[in-house]
């Protein structure tokens, strides 16, 4: 039996960043600031993989389109970002 390899650290980091961007610009409840939109566009322009990962997150989140879930998702991403910043 052959096991499929897991994601690389780079893929995991891109996916985490895509989820964070989705929580900032992809949720309809809280419109992004112009600064966030500009930074998001720069992030997407940095690599086609960033765009691909963002689209994966967006597609995966589509079935969960309800206000409570969006709120919980956004709070969880913010907690993970704070935890990551504390480690740096």
Return mean pLDDT, the chain. Answer: 85
Q: Is residue 54 part of a domain?
A: yes
Q: Is residue 3 part of a domain?
A: no
Number of separate domains in the chain: 1
Q: Is residue 61 part of a domain?
A: yes
Q: Is residue 48 part of a domain?
A: yes
Q: Is residue 67 part of a domain?
A: yes
**7-31 pLDDT tens trace:** 788 888 999 999 999 988 987 777 8
CA neighbours closer than 13 Å in the CB half-sphere of residue 21 = 24
Q: Is residue 26 part of a domain?
A: yes
End-to-end CA distance of the chain: 39
Reported as a pLDDT band with limits 50, 70 and 90, residue 43 is very high
Q: Is residue 4 part of a domain?
A: no
| pTM, full prediction | 0.70
Q: Which residues contact 11 (CB under 8 A, 6 or more apart)?
A: 49, 53
CA neighbours closer than 13 Å in the CB half-sphere of residue 66 = 4
Q: Which domain holds residue 53?
A: 10-87
Q: Is residue 75 part of a domain?
A: yes
């Amino acid at each position: 039996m052959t096991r499929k390899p897991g994601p690389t650290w780079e893929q995991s980091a891109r996916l985490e960043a895509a989820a964070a961007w989705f929580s900032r610009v992809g949720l309809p409840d809280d419109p992004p600031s112009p600064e966030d939109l500009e930074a998001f566009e720069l992030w997407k322009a940095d690599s086609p993989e960033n765009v691909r990962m963002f689209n994966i997150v967006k597609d995966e989140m589509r079935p969960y389109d309800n206000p409570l879930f969006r709120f919980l998702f956004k709070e969880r991403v913010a907690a993970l970002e704070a935890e990551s910043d504390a480690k740096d």
